[in-house]
């Protein structure tokens, strides 16, 4: 009798579990039917061999999303939702949308705005092996702490202080380019910009010049570039997802050396600045400083989860996010100014009206002036996004504006780059036109529709720093040099999409001293 009762109980529990599992997943699969999908094949789903080539990734995304704003793409049995419409993904501050989303939340406990709700990045674990664990790839709870640590270091008050270093570094960059200007040689500027950005950011973070570490900066810059390529490759190679296999692959291919190179400089900086943390902090008696290194010192004392290793990882991830993206944007903007001589002349006139020949740029110049240059920078960001996409996982169901429901537990690829090319927002989205960011044109679009820095809780904390840095570099270069390029135009086929949109043909620029040309 007892046996029968146990047996019946087991059968009931198993049956109920299966039923519940089916019920839960039934809804998931029913909801997927709302979205279009390309024709699928057994086992592989929508995956084709050409889709796994990193250089062709942009073609794949465009091909898959060509006819629909929302598409389900099957990688084998795993569905991924691709979104490219601003309305679906962004957090508009428009009053109508605010009330719309509030009523949705109030009545349905859902929200249609993906970026506002999904703070967890998907595939974060794939980077931890190389990149440590910090703001970009930590768990939700730990990410919140990282963000709290970093945000005050990029407040408006701190940004004003950083401008002196930015201007000094940009001036050093102009001096470096003189070598190429004298020889008349065309040069790919990106590498110089990346190293210049690293030097400036680390000086602003620590308050100490790291100019003496030229070799280490160069090694770090190379490692950042190699790392970004490696992560893109791993994301497109599911067989490398298990850490053990990836580890073996890295050892066999010698990529393990890259990890050492990537961590060497941040480790040195954290060790030099945070050893004897208690004495240093107390002796300085300055607990109001918002410089990142001081915030890190305080965090080290007050919160045991901020170990030396974690702070090193925070520094590594922040520097990587900041310097690579900014160097891409300055490179593309210089290339655009070289291709659009009329815009370059306008930028030059704006600079010469603001400052005299040898006058040093101030924080006021960078923060409050050079509006046309800023339009050129923003338009370049829109067309050549340094962060083209983000991958999130929905934590709960989301109701979109037209009542379509995104299932919970869904991997969502948010295509910032395609959202920035929307014909509903920009008349001629594939043409570089700084007037897209004139005051009038900006006011005519919904607020928050330009997504190059993302929106919502995981948006870029360094966006103002990025604009100031790029303004400082370009203003100083254009004041001294006339820029030209041998490229006739940049076609879609000349571009590739890693995490960033990049030029396959580089960023070749010829610098001619202004006095020689008389312009
Ligand atoms: C042109 C330059 C830049 C662009 C286009 C850019 C773009 C972005 C975007 C789109 C995201 C969010 C990705 C997502 O939603 O998943 C992001 C995140 C981030 N950016 Fe930037 N960024 C730039 C420069 C900077 C700078 C200068 C800094 C620091 C000084 C910085 C630090 C970060 C950090 C730490 C995150 C992660 C935020 C988080 O996960 O909460 N970025 N950036």
- Answer left, alpha or beta for residue 112, where phi above 0 means left and psi between -120 and 50 means alpha: alpha
**Position with higher pLDDT, 185 vs 276:** 185
pLDDT tens readout for residues 146-200: 999 999 999 999 999 999 999 999 999 999 999 888 888 899 999 999 999 999 9
Q: What is the pLDDT of residues 14-34, one digit of tens each?
A: 777 756 766 667 888 889 899
Q: Could you tell me which residues are annotated as the binding site for heme?
A: 460
Q: How far apart are the first and last CA of the chain?
A: 101
The Cα 428–Cα 255 span in angstroms is 43
Is the pTM of the predicted complex or chain greater than 0.90? Answer: no
- 308-347 pLDDT tens trace: 999 999 999 999 999 999 999 999 999 999 999 999 999 9
519 pLDDT band, cuts 50/70/90, is low
Helix 214-235 to helix 308-339 angle, to the nearest 10 degrees?
A: 90
Q: Which residue, judged by its Cα, is nearest atom 17 of ligand 1?
A: 460
User: Residue 436: enclosing H or E segment and its boundaries?
Assistant: none
Q: Where is average pLDDT lowest: 85-89, 158-162, 383-387, 487-491?
A: 85-89
Which residue puts its alpha carbon closest to atom 30 of ligand 1? 462
Kindly report the three-state secondary structure assignment for every residue of 250-299: HHHHCCHHHHHHHHHHHHHHHHHHHCCHHHHHHHHCCCCCCCHHHHHHHH
Average pLDDT, the chain: 85
**Residue whose token pair is 């039917």:** 33
Place of tokens 């898959």: 64
Summarize the confidence of residues 203-210 as an average pLDDT. 89
The answer on pLDDT for 106 being more than 50 is no
- Look at residue 103 and tell me whether its pLDDT is greater than 50: no
Pairwise pLDDT comparison (242 vs 116), residue with the higher score: 242
41-50, 136-145, 301-310, 508-517: least confidently modelled range:
41-50
User: In the chain, pLDDT over 90 holds for what percent of residues?
Assistant: 44
This complex has an ipTM of: 0.98
The pLDDT confidence band at residue 6, using thresholds 50, 70 and 90, is: confident
Our mutation pick for probing the ligand 1 site, out of 169, 205, 321, counting the most ligand atoms within 8 A of Cβ, is: 321
Helices (runs of H) and strands (runs of E) counted in the chain: 22, 11
CA 416 to ligand 1: nearest atom = 10
Ligand 1 midpoint to CA 462 (Å): 6
Helix (H, G, I), strand (E, B) or coil at 63: helix
Q: Which residues line ligand 1 (CB under 6 A)?
A: 121, 135-136, 147, 318, 321-322, 325-326, 329, 381, 386-387, 390, 416, 452-454, 458-462, 465-466
**Kind of pairing between the strands at 186-188 and 78-83:** unpaired
């Amino acid at each position: 009798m007892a046996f029968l009762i146990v047996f019946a109980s087991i059968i009931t529990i198993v049956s109920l579990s299966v039923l519940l599992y089916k019920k839960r997943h039934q809804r998931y699969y029913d909801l997927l039917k709302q979205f279009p999908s390309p024709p699928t094949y057994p086992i592989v789903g929508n995956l084709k061999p050409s889709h796994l080539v990193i250089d062709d990734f942009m073609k794949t995304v465009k091909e898959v999303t060509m006819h629909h704003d929302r598409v389900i793409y099957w990688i084998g049995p795993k569905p991924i939702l691709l979104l490219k419409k601003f309305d679906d993904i962004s957090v508009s501050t428009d009053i109508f949308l605010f009330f719309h989303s509030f009523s949705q939340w109030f009545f349905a406990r859902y929200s249609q705005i993906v970026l506002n709700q999904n703070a967890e990045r998907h595939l974060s674990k794939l980077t931890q092996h190389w990149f440590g664990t910090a703001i970009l790839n930590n768990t939700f709870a730990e990410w919140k702490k990282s963000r709290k640590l970093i945000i005050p270091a990029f407040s408006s008050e701190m940004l004003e202080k950083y401008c002196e270093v930015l201007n000094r570094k940009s001036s050093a960059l102009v001096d470096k380019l003189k070598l190429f200007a004298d020889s008349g040689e065309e040069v790919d500027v990106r590498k110089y910009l990346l190293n210049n950005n690293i030097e400036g950011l680390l000086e602003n973070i620590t308050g100490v010049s790291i100019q003496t570490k030229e070799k280490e900066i160069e090694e770090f810059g190379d490692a950042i570039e190699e790392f970004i390529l490696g992560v893109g490759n791993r994301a497109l190679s599911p067989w490398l997802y298990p850490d053990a296999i990836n580890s073996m692959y890295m050892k066999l291919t010698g990529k393990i050396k890259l990890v050492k190179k990537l961590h060497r400089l941040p480790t040195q900086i954290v060790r030099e600045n945070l050893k004897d943390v208690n004495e240093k902090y107390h002796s300085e008696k300055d607990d109001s400083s918002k410089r990142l290194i001081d915030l890190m010192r305080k965090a080290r004392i007050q919160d045991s989860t901020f170990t030396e290793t974690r702070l090193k990882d925070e520094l590594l991830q922040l520097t990587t996010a900041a310097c690579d993206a900014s160097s891409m944007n300055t490179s593309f903007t210089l290339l655009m100014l070289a291709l659009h001589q009329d815009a370059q002349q306008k930028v030059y006139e704006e600079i010469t009206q603001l400052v005299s020949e040898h006058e040093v740029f101030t924080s006021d110049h960078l923060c409050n002036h050079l509006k046309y240059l800023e339009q050129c920078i923003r338009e370049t960001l829109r067309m050549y996004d340094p962060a083209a996409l983000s991958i999130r996982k929905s934590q709960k169901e989301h109701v979109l504006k037209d009542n379509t429901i995104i299932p919970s537990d869904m991997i969502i690829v948010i295509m910032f780059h395609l959202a920035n090319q929307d014909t509903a927002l920009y008349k001629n989205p594939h043409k570089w036109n700084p007037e897209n960011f004139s005051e009038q044109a900006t006011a005519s679009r919904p607020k928050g529709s330009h997504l190059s820095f993302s929106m919502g809780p995981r948006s870029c904390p360094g966006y103002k720093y990025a604009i100031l840095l790029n303004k400082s570099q370009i203003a100083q270069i254009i004041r001294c040099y006339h820029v030209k390029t041998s490229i006739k135009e940049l076609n879609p086929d000349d571009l590739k999409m890693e995490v960033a949109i990049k030029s396959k043909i580089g960023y070749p620029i010829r610098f001619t001293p202004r006095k020689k040309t008389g312009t």
